[in-house]
């Protein structure tokens, strides 16, 4: 069995023989796991497979033509820019086509008007350097500097820098979206001209179908081109130093500086976040999980565990760091002002400054997400949610409590409650909970924990990032909105009646729970006998 | 049973009417659009009543026209296909002011006057457009993306969670308020996004065509401890723009506006004679920039911002006389500064309607370095149609560190003069086309501009209609607006 | 008892399995192949050093062919497929494995954040391909034959010492033996001559091998393990027989073979070779620092420098490893991994910055982020189009920094770049570091 032959040769005519293949060795290179984000899980084993063909178009026009052919010949497809997001960005059904967008690396930068216009193949690290060259910056999402900028902006797009810069949704400007049936929609100012500089409208904003917090994983069409806002930074260069693995950006400390403070209690840590937000200072404001410091120090997993296993529940529970990035946006005097205000707050809270390197290993240019796999070999974030500081500062503890039930197979972390930080100068708070395991062990507990967190969030009335395609839609749907899933499915059926675009997303996790026997005990919500989607 | 009878069962006898006198109040507004009559008007007390009214109308394919403000200028609330006006003015509660998370949650009927007073009591403020009408719904203006005067907060967009009544009469909460049991939940509704889709985006700029938003949570800011206003007379608008390109990315200031003599005179004048004098004497443009010291060490913040401004002016823009006074107009700055932080006073006729009575605004988003070009186009079309250029109000609002701006041209006319009205309507249409052709982006087109824009944005419009078809298959939500 | 055992007893009792850095068995790298996270650190210039949208990539193979299979993240998955018997050896699969210079960018890139042995996996894959009759490429088999029959890469029948001119003083016995290498001997005599003259100018006595034979770089690189091991044993014996304490080479590939792959083949550490192995760069840097070599003659040019892979990412000394892998994938005992930290970056730049009268500008991708020339290890012979593509791409970078001359430290780089420069229109000169050093020495 393979991709329909007529479809294959029609697509080949569009891109040329060099950019399409169905060779088994090439297909194997597009396998999702077993390593990678959310890989080494039952979801990956049960739900993913290798493609039967891969095509690499170079622009929106080619993508559109390919999609129309797929619709005509009922060829399921999945859009793919770097493949980093794990199983959810890989084929879920047989005889599927991967549309690999890496060739679309177009790049134009209007630095006077603070945006770059890029294709799906452009990743964040080089774009950040282009921005820094012009005294601007953008967010390197927690997913990492290796992520496609477009994918990151329709699925993630936040980091500690969001304390100042805010929700990524607003950085999306004029965008080209190829709908699942091949129609092309241009949003924002691109709707009425060739200039992508403005993102809203016209009228009701169709950027609403791009995200829905953490994205639709490519089941609602393909974003091929996007203008992305940059934000003003400061003019001094950040100089790369060191030799791998010990590289970092040397910071111009009169304009850019990280500061770490140790505060006496969790309450002080939380109050620091609120107070710093109220004071309207800082470019980043975060606490990080203690084991990340161990990762940063360790060169390999043996060294990590040597450092980490010296900790205990008590040492974790009594360790409170507030990490602050100051940027003198206006001038050096701006930096001095912010530092004075910060010191005032820390004095009030009993915070003690700790020695901090005048460099940035992570966040400004290199979100070192790859380091997350160092400790155990497998990793996923079970939440990366923006809400208020009120939620963010307690959320992690609820996770940590639930996690005890599932450790092992999850890594022992002595109850570390994940990380939280301030976003939008304290108007929002962010919490993320990360789990790690060795996928050579029995991973059923990982799959169960994953869905159990969704139930936990529903029970405790937390907002969560893992909605939409990330968790069973029939579990989360009735509990958020309520019934947001009905609208999502209606819109999906409107734009993709054949479900050719990345089937069976957004019902993929429902499908997984049905297919995996070890998930049946946990499946205690109402779900239809037949999932409402065409069968592939 | 009649429509009125059915509605009475839902909202009570006193809160529904089909009397002509009542319906007339909703049949027209301050725009140039022709009047339209509804069949009934209801004044619901709460979201459940709104939902029941909408459910009934949907079952019977009766249009609904949601109204939240007490005054309207774009024609969006004129019933275009009859139906039921749902006036949310009784739903004017401020539900919570959360000082820790700096958010306010309030119903659709809450006005600028009401909200700013309530926030001020708590030492807080909302970031607002220029002199909003005091009896406009804050929720509506925010959803309609009215551009604000303060662009220093990178995160922009104050909207957070929404409560929505869909066309099928179901009640929904978007954003992080979607959690079950909100507001008795740990989630505080601070995130606008999700769940599953960004519903809030569909509601923005929608003029009530996608659903009825009954409450919103929104970001609020602290009232600064110290404020200073700087003013500069401007002849060369391009030079002023280069200055703004230089300083606004350095995150200087809070409010920043550029007003021509007509607009500024209109705002500042207490009476008609004063307007004429001011109009004649004011410089062609005035740049107003406020800087503020916020909660901690406010003097130090003022000091470093002032120092930076002085250095830039001295070294790079010494032809721009920015200072704490506008020469020839003593006290203008002191008067203007608090005005920038408050809605228009309730007991004074709105400045745009004081001049000749009627006002047609033409507003769009543009690149700041093209401002001159757009002004030229506007002047040319106005002149061509016999409208005196010297009477046009002009307002430039820098947005997002001046990477863009909103340009607003105001054409004043007498509402009793049919010829004048026709001329202004013609200029509106012609100018919109010409400005669009030159790259101006009409991100929220109303009235007669809407079909021009949605026609041009053909594929976008098609997709929008498909989305509308999902949320409102019977097209009962305020039909005849946007592109529906 | 380890810390883990002490703390947790049987709760975390993953059975230990043996593991060794032994490339003759691909199964030793099963864990590594299983744990590639597809972050493409193997493809991109390390993010901290990313220069922007121009030249952000350091994997020549995957830039030449965009399918994921051609990058290390694809090859790791393919390797698993091969080891699990899921993939058959086909021409395409062999092409994927061999259209690659094993430049080490992927290995170093991955090790920026993780501890997977990517380079060793790729070597082991080739060894498996050869063992199972699928590899190497026909052109590479020819090279192996040349070496077997004529003792050199080219199958050239001429005397190996024909490069030696009368004005060069060679000692019969010395502490230093100069290993010339096939390319300098036959294709780039100017490099051998310059190197020898540098020894003379520094007053360092040196020997030549009586019957120098190919180091076996291509033979090992394409996976012909047994043949390469034989060459290694013979060559080491030959050097020991000379009594030399130090072997100096001017070819980066020879350098890597002697310093890293010979010990690997013999399952010993670099230290245990019995003699020191250094590159001309190290020799000259030390000689200049000690005042023995004086760089005083002005050289009027604006030049840039290409960090050849084998004197950069690939030349950390070798240490064999045998142990066990257990809980959470940890290996016992632990080890300090080879991450390309010991590239000759400082030494080369000491020299280049000391060339009087010349202007030295760095390329955009330098040191461990360097972009391979595409020519080495038998790749050019098997995939001439790929080698040309890589060299052309690097030449664009040379033009971008405005250099007139490109200097490298490997004759394979020099020849591949020279071919590209000749075809181009900018008239860029290509030199070896030996030549530019000699140009600065008053003879």
Q: Are residues A365 and A502 in the same domain?
A: no
Contacts for B379 with CB less than 8 Å, ≥ 6 apart: B389, B392
Nearest CA in chain C to A20: C67
Tens digit of pLDDT for each residue in B171-200? 999 999 999 999 999 999 999 999 999 999
* Residue C307 pLDDT exceeds 60: yes
Chains in touch with A (≥3 Cβ pairs < 8 A): B, C
Query: In the predicted model, what is the mean pLDDT of residues C172-176?
Result: 97
Residues A419, A432: Cα–Cα separation, whole Å: 5
Proportion of chain B in helix, strand, coil states, percent, rounded to 5: 40, 20, 40
Domain boundaries, chain B: 3-87, 94-222, 226-437
| pLDDT above 60 (res A475) | yes
**Are the C-beta atoms of A354 and A261 separated by less than 8 Å?**
yes
Residue of C nearest to A34 (CA): C34
Q: A72-93: b or e for each residue (b if 16 or more CB lie within 10 Å)?
A: ebebbbbbbbbbbbbbbbbbbb
**The pLDDT of residue A313 is above 90:** no
Nearest CA in chain C to A99: C67
Contact A212 B202 (CB under 8 A): no
Prior bond of C164 cis (ω within 30°): no
Tokens 């294959």 correspond to what residue? A8
CA-based R_g, chain B, Å: 23
Instruction: List, as one string, the DSSP characters of B220-242.
Output: -EEPPSEEEEEEEEES-HHHHHH
DSSP state of A20: E
Interchain pair B201, A388: CB under 8 A: no
| DSSP code for A405 | T
**Predicted local distance difference test score (pLDDT) of residue C7:** 54
List the strands of the sheet with A352-354, edge to edge.
Answer: A352-354, A256-262, A321-327, A284-286, A419-423, A428-437, A378-387
pLDDT score recorded for residue C11: 43
Is residue B352 a contact partner of residue B412, using CB atoms and an 8 Å limit?
yes
Q: Are residues A308 and A417 in the same domain?
A: yes
Is-contact B162 B200, C-beta < 8 A? yes
C1: pLDDT strictly greater than 50: no
Which H helix or E strand runs over A165?
A: helix A162-165
B and C touch with 3+ CB pairs <8 Å, answer no
Helices (H), A309-382: 313-317, 332-349
What SS3 class is residue C375? Answer: coil
The Cα–Cα gap between B464 and A225 comes to 19
pLDDT tens-digit map of B295-344: 999 999 999 999 999 999 999 999 999 999 999 999 999 999 999 999 99
Chains touching C (at least 3 CB pairs under 8 A) are: A
Nearest 5°: the CA angle A319, A323, A328 is 165
pLDDT band at B47 (very low <50, low <70, confident <90, very high): very high
Residue B362 is predicted with a pLDDT of 98
Same-domain check for residues A396 and A316: yes
Average pLDDT over residues B244-263: 96
The helix or strand, by DSSP H or E, that contains position B293, with its residue range, turns out to be: strand B285-293
Interval A177-207: pLDDT, tens: 999 999 999 999 999 999 999 999 899 999 9
From the list A393, A486, A377, the residue with the least C-alpha distance to A432 is: A393
pLDDT digits (tens, 9 = 90+) for C130-167: 999 999 999 999 999 999 999 999 999 999 999 999 99
What is the three-class DSSP state of C364? coil
Mean pLDDT of C53-63: 98
Backbone angles phi, psi at B325, to 5 degrees: -140, 155
A298 close to B273: Cβ distance less than 8 angstroms:
no
What distances in angstroms separate CA C270 from CA A38, C251, C316, C319, C332, one per listed residue? 40, 18, 9, 7, 22
Residue of A nearest to B309 (CA): A330
CATH class of B226-437: alpha beta
Chain-centroid distance of CA A298 in Å reads 25
Of A100, A121, A140, the one marking the end of a domain is: A100
Please give the model's pTM, rounded to 2 decimal places.
Answer: 0.97
pLDDT tens across C185-211, in order? 999 999 999 999 999 999 999 999 999
Q: In this predicted structure, what is the pLDDT of residue B271?
A: 79
- Cβ of C17 under 8 Å from any chain A Cβ? no
pLDDT of residue C4 exceeding 80, the answer is no
Q: Cis before residue A409, ω within 30 degrees of 0?
A: yes
- The answer on A397 and A292 residing in a single domain is yes
The residue-averaged pLDDT of C59-88 equals: 97
**CATH ID of B94-222, from 3.30.465.10, 1.10.10.10, 2.40.50.140, 3.60.21.10:** 3.30.465.10
The helix (run of H) or strand (run of E) holding residue C196 is helix C189-201
Same domain, A286 and A266: yes
Whole-number pLDDT of residue C419: 95
Share of chain B above pLDDT 70, in %: 100
Give tens-digit pLDDT for B112-146. Answer: 999 999 999 999 999 999 999 999 999 999 999 99
Contact A146 C330 (CB under 8 A): no
Q: How far apart are CA C108 and CA A244, in angstroms?
A: 7
Q: Is B401 close to A191, i.e. CB distance below 8 A?
A: no
Last residue of a domain, one of A200, A232, A264: A232
Provide the shortest C-alpha distance from residue C410 to chain A (in Å): 22
Q: Which residues have a Cβ under 8 Å from the Cβ of A35 and sit 6 or more positions away?
A: A373, A377, A378, A439, C34, C35, C36, C37, C38, C76
Give the torsion through C-alpha atoms of A427, B147, A141, A429, to 10 deg: 10
C-alpha distance from A169 to closest chain C C-alpha (Å): 24
Q: E strand or H helix at B287, and its extent?
A: strand B285-293
pLDDT in tens, B68-109: 999 999 999 999 999 999 999 999 999 999 999 999 999 999
By C-alpha distance, the chain A residue nearest C117 is: A300
3-class DSSP state of A359: strand
Sheet with B256-260, strands from edge to edge, namely B226-234, B285-293, B256-260, B393-399, B404-413, B358-366
Query: What distance in Å separates the CA atoms of residue B437 and residue B435, rounded to the nearest whole number?
Result: 5
For chains A and B, what is the number of CB pairs under 8 angstroms? 327
Least confident of A56-65, A99-108, A311-320, C27-36: A311-320
Residues A373 and A257 reside in one and the same domain: yes
Mean pLDDT of A384-405: 95
The pLDDT of A433-453, averaged and rounded, is 95
Alpha carbon A306 to chain centroid, angstroms = 30
Beta-bridged to residue A359, according to DSSP, are A250
Q: What is the fold, at CATH topology level, of the domain defined by B3-87?
A: 3.30.43
Extract the tokens encoding B398. Answer: 């820098």
Task: Domain of residue A176: give its range.
Answer: 107-232
Verify that A64 and A82 share a domain, yes or no. Answer: yes
Average pLDDT, chain A: 94
**What is the domain-level CATH number for residue A87?**
3.30.43.10
Per the structure, how many domains does chain A have?
4
Given an 8 Å threshold on Cβ–Cβ distance, is C66 in contact with A371?
no
Assign A478 a pLDDT band (cuts: 50, 70, 90).
very high
DSSP annotation of C99 reads S
Mutate to test the interface with C, among A20, A27, A29 (most CBs of C within 10 A): A29
Tokens of C357: 């009268």
Mean pLDDT of chain C: 95
**B191 Cβ contact partners less than 8 Å away, ≥ 6 residues apart:** A167, A213, A385, A386, A387, A428, A463, B160, B161, B175, B176
Across C311-428, the runs of DSSP E, i.e. the strands, are 322-325, 331-332, 359-360, 405-408
Q: How far is A237 from chain B (nearest CA, A)?
A: 16
The predicted pLDDT at position A424 comes to 96
Do residues A88 and A221 both lie within one domain? no
- Residues A51 and A164 grouped into a single domain: no
Q: Please name the residue ranges forming H helices in A425-501.
A: 444-460, 473-476, 484-495
ipTM: 0.96
Find residue C304's DSSP bridge partners: C406
Note the pLDDT tens digit of each residue in C116-133: 999 999 999 999 999 999
CB proximity list for B476: less than 8 A, separation 6 or greater: B54, B57, B58, B61, B62, B63, B64, B83, B167
Q: Does the pLDDT value for residue B30 go beyond 80? A: yes
DSSP structural state of residue C262:
H
Beta strand A184-186 pairing with A136-137:
unpaired
- A217 shares its domain with A192: yes
Across C54-64, average pLDDT = 98
Which residues of chain A make contact with B401, given a CB cutoff of 8 A? 114, 231-232
A379 and A305, same structural domain? yes
Which string of DSSP letters, residue by residue, matches B115-144?
A: HHHHHHHTTEE---BSS--TTSBHHHHHHT
Select from B310, A157, A164, A98 the least CA-distant residue to C68.
Answer: A98
Helix then strand then coil, % of chain C, to nearest 5: 50, 10, 45
Query: What's residue A416's pLDDT?
Result: 84
What residues have CB less than 8 Å from A276, skipping those under 6 apart?
A: A282, A285, A324, A342, A345, A422, A426
| Token pair 């929008």 in the structure block, residue | B464
Q: How many helices (H) and strands (E) does chain B have?
A: 16, 17
pLDDT, residue C8, reads 53
Contact C35 A244 (CB under 8 A): no
């Amino acid at each position: 069995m393979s991709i329909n032959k007529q479809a294959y040769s029609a697509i080949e005519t569009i891109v040329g023989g060099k950019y399409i293949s169905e060779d088994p060795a090439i297909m194997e290179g597009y396998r999702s796991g077993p390593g990678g984000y959310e890989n080494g899980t039952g979801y990956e084993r049960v739900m993913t497979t290798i493609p039967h063909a891969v095509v690499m178009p170079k622009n929106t026009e080619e993508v559109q033509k390919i999609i129309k052919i797929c619709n005509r010949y009922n060829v399921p497809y999945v859009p793919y820019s770097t493949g980093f997001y794990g199983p959810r960005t890989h084929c879920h059904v047989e005889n599927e086509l991967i549309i690999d967008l890496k060739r679309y690396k177009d790049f134009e930068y209007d630095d006077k008007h603070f945006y770059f216009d890029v294709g799906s193949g452009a990743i964040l690290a080089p774009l950040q350097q282009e921005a820094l060259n012009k005294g601007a910056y953008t967010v390197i999402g927690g997913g990492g500097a290796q992520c496609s900028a477009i994918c990151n902006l329709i699925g993630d797009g936040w980091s500690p820098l969001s304390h100042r810069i805010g929700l990524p949704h607003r950085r999306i400007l004029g965008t080209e979206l190829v709908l699942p049936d091949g129609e092309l929609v241009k949003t924002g100012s691109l709707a009425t001209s060739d200039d992508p500089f403005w993102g809203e409208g016209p009228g009701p904003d169709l950027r609403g179908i791009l995200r829905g917090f953490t994205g639709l994983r490519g089941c609602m069409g393909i974003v091929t081109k996007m203008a992305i806002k940059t934000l003003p930074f400061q003019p001094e260069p950040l100089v790369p130093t060191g030799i791998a693995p010990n590289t970092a950006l040397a910071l111009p400390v009169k304009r850019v500086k990280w500061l770490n403070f140790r505060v006496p209690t969790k309450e002080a840590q939380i109050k620091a976040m609120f107070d710093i937000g109220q004071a309207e200072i800082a470019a980043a404001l975060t606490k990080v999980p203690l084991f990340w410091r161990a990762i940063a120090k360790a060169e390999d997993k043996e060294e990590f565990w040597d450092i980490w296993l010296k900790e205990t529940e008590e040492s974790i529970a009594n360790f409170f760091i507030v990490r602050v990035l100051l940027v003198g946006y206006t001038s050096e005097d701006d930096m001095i002002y912010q530092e004075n205000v910060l010191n005032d707050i820390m004095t009030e809270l009993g915070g003690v400054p700790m020695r901090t390197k005048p460099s940035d290993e992570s966040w400004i240019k290199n979100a070192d997400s790859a380091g997350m796999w160092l400790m155990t070999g497998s990793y996923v974030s079970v939440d990366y949610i923006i809400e208020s500081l009120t939620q963010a500062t307690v959320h992690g503890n609820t996770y940590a409590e639930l996690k005890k039930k599932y450790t092992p197979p999850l890594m022992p972390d002595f109850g570390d409650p994940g990380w939280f930080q301030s976003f939008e100068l304290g108007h929002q708070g962010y919490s993320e909970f990360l789990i790690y395991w060795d996928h050579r062990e029995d991973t059923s507990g990982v799959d169960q924990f994953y869905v159990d967190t969704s139930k936990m969030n529903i029970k405790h009335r937390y907002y969560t990032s893992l909605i939409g395609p990330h968790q069973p839609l029939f579990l989360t749907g009735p509990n958020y909105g309520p019934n947001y899933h009905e609208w999502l499915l209606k819109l999906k059926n409107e734009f993709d009646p054949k479900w050719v675009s990345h089937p069976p997303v957004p019902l993929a996790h429902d499908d997984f729970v049905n297919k995996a026997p070890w998930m049946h005990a946990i499946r205690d919500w109402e779900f239809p006998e037949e999932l409402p989607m065409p069968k592939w | 049973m009649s429509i009125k009878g059915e509605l009475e069962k839902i909202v009570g006898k006193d809160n529904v009417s089909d009397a002509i006198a009542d319906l007339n109040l909703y049949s027209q507004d301050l725009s140039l659009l022709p009047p339209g009559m509804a069949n009934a008007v209801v004044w619901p007390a709460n979201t459940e009543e709104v939902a029941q009214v909408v459910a009934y109308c949907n079952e019977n394919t009766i249009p609904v026209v949601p109204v939240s403000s007490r005054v309207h200028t774009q024609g969006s609330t004129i019933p275009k296909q009859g139906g039921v006006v749902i006036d949310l003015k009784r739903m004017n509660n401020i539900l919570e002011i959360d000082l820790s998370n700096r958010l306010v949650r309030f119903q659709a009927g809450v006005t600028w006057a009401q909200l700013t007073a309530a926030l001020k009591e708590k030492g807080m403020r909302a970031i607002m457009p220029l002199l909003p009408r005091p009896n406009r719904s804050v929720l509506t203006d925010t959803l309609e993306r009215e551009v604000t005067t303060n662009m220093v907060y990178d995160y922009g967009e104050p909207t957070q969670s929404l409560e929505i009544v869909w066309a099928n009469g179901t009640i929904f909460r978007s954003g992080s308020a979607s959690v079950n049991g909100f507001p008795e939940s740990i989630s505080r509704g601070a995130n606008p996004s999700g769940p599953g889709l960004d519903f809030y985006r569909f509601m923005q700029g929608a003029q009530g065509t996608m659903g009825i938003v009954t409450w919103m949570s929104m970001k609020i800011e602290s009232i600064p401890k110290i404020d200073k206003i700087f003013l500069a007379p401007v002849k060369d608008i391009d030079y002023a723009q280069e200055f703004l390109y230089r300083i606004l990315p350095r995150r200087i200031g809070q409010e920043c506006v550029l007003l021509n003599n007509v607009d500024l005179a209109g705002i500042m004048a207490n009476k008609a004679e004063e307007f004429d004098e001011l109009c004649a004497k004011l410089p062609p443009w005035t740049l107003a920039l406020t800087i503020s010291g916020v909660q901690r060490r406010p003097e130090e913040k003022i000091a470093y911002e002032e120092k930076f401004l002085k250095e830039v002016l001295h070294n790079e823009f010494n032809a721009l006389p920015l200072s704490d006074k506008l020469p020839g107009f003593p006290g203008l700055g002191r008067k203007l500064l608090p005005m920038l932080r408050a809605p228009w006073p309730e007991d004074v006729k709105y400045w745009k309607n004081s001049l000749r009575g009627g006002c047609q605004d033409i507003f769009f988003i543009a690149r700041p370095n093209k401002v001159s070009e757009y002004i030229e186009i506007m002047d040319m079309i106005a002149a061509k149609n016999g409208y005196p250029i010297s009477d046009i109000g002009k307002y430039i609002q820098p947005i997002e560190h001046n990477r863009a701006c909103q340009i607003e041209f105001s054409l004043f006319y007498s509402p009793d003069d049919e010829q004048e009205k026709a001329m202004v309507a013609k200029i509106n249409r012609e100018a919109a086309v010409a400005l669009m052709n030159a790259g101006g982006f009409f991100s929220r087109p109303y009235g007669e501009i809407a079909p021009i824009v949605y026609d041009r944005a053909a594929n976008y419009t098609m997709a929008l209609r498909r989305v509308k078809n999902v949320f409102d298959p019977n097209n009962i939500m305020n039909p005849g607006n946007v592109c529906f | 008892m380890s810390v883990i055992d002490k703390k947790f007893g049987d709760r975390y009792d993953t059975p230990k399995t043996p593991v060794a850095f032994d490339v003759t068995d691909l199964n030793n790298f099963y864990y590594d192949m299983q744990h590639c996270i597809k972050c493409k650190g193997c493809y991109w210039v390390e993010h901290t050093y990313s220069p922007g949208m121009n030249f952000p990539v350091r994997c020549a193979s995957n830039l030449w062919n965009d399918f994921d299979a051609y990058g290390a993240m694809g090859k790791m998955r393919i390797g698993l497929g091969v080891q699990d018997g899921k993939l058959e050896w086909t021409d395409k699969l062999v092409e994927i494995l061999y259209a690659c210079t094993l430049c080490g960018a992927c290995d170093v890139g991955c090790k920026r954040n993780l501890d997977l042995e990517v380079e060793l996996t790729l070597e082991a894959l080739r060894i498996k391909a050869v063992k199972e009759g699928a590899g190497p490429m026909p052109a590479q088999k020819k090279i192996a034959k040349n070496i077997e029959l004529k003792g050199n890469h080219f199958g050239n029948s001429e005397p190996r010492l024909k490069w030696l001119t009368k004005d060069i003083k060679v000692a019969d016995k010395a502490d230093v033996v100069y290993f010339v290498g096939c390319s300098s001997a036959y294709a780039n005599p100017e490099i051998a001559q310059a190197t020898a003259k540098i020894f003379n100018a520094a007053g360092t006595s040196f020997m030549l091998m009586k019957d120098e034979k190919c180091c076996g770089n291509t033979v090992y690189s394409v996976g012909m393990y047994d043949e390469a091991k034989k060459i290694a044993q013979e060559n080491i014996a030959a050097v020991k027989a000379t009594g030399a304490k130090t072997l100096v080479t001017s070819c980066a590939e020879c350098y890597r073979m002697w310093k890293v792959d010979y010990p690997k083949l013999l399952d010993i550490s670099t230290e245990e070779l019995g003699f020191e192995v250094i590159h001309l760069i190290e020799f000259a840097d030390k000689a200049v620092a000690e005042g023995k070599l004086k760089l005083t003659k002005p050289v009027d040019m604006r030049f840039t420098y290409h960090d050849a892979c084998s004197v950069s990412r690939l030349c950390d000394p070798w240490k064999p490893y045998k142990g066990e892998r257990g809980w959470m994938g940890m290996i016992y005992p632990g080890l300090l991994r080879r991450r390309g930290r010991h590239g000759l970056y400082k030494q080369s730049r000491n020299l280049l910055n000391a060339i009087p009268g010349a202007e030295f500008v760095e390329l955009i991708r330098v040191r461990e982020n360097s972009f391979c020339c595409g020519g080495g290890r038998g790749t050019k012979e098997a995939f001439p189009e790929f080698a040309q593509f890589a060299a052309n791409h690097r030449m664009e970078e040379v033009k971008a920094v405005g250099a007139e001359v490109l200097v490298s430290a490997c004759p394979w780089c020099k020849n591949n770049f020279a071919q590209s420069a000749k075809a181009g229109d900018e008239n860029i000169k290509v030199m070896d570091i030996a030549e530019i050093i000699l140009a600065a020495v008053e003879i």
